[in-house]
A and B are shown apart, each in its own frame.
Chain A
Amino acid sequence: MLEARQRVAPLVPDIDPGDLLLILQSLLRPIGTGRRFFLRRRDSGGYVF
């Protein structure tokens, strides 16, 4: 992850470092490894993972 960030960061200097880390974490985590991406609406009107 850190190696990827070091390699990619100079190529996308306008992307916020925090956003870049978030994107890399997502890109480098294959499906089937516990990812959550659905929001479920509760009766109260709020949303939960």
Chain B
Amino acid sequence: MPNALRLAGTIAAKDIRAELRSRTALLSAVVFAALVLVVFNFARDPTAIAAADLAPSVLWVTFALAAMVALNRAFNIEREHGALDGLLLAPVPREALFAGKLLANLAFVGTVEAVTLPLFMLFFNVNLGPALPGIVGVTVLATIGFVSVGTIFSAMAVRTRFAELMLPVLLLPFMVPPLIAAVQVTARLLAGRPLSEMLGWLRLLALYDVVFVTLCMLAFSAVVDE
């Protein structure tokens, strides 16, 4: 098992290194997230709806859209020059391969989220203050879940004719439970509600992560192996 973890780490490190060398995808994703925030600001009537009322939804829709853009490229880079075939020839268990891709995607989406969060505070004049650790925590929980499903769907979508359209159509229904839970928890955190009011949602998020990370890991070989 430590060996598999090491292999997963190697694959993730490869992806992250490739990303850091070009940086174009990461930069584009960050700019995209910032633009979504800006668009949201103009899509509301500031005299009718306070920014704080809309804040949790804006934050999570932005995260979801940014994750979608990030996931679209996850297996695109493996497609060029038959890189995926090379990766599959390596004596790596498919579970470790999935874990590696998942870690790399989490690093990518996590970076975009880490940049988006301060921008969101700035643009929407929301002071997260004491809620910040909680929001980071729920972001981690929710992101693991939908990025895991997104990783496996991204591997499938690149094999189709209209990959950029196929991924959102498949993935959005799977984003619904983590998104609903995350929005509910974020709203309660911002309102300073006690933890007991969020516990149910947090359990749902944790369960979603456990179920879908395990399932995607097991199903991954059905996607990549002929």
A and B from one complex: no
Interface residues of B (CB under 8 A from A): none
Interface residues of A (CB under 8 A from B): none
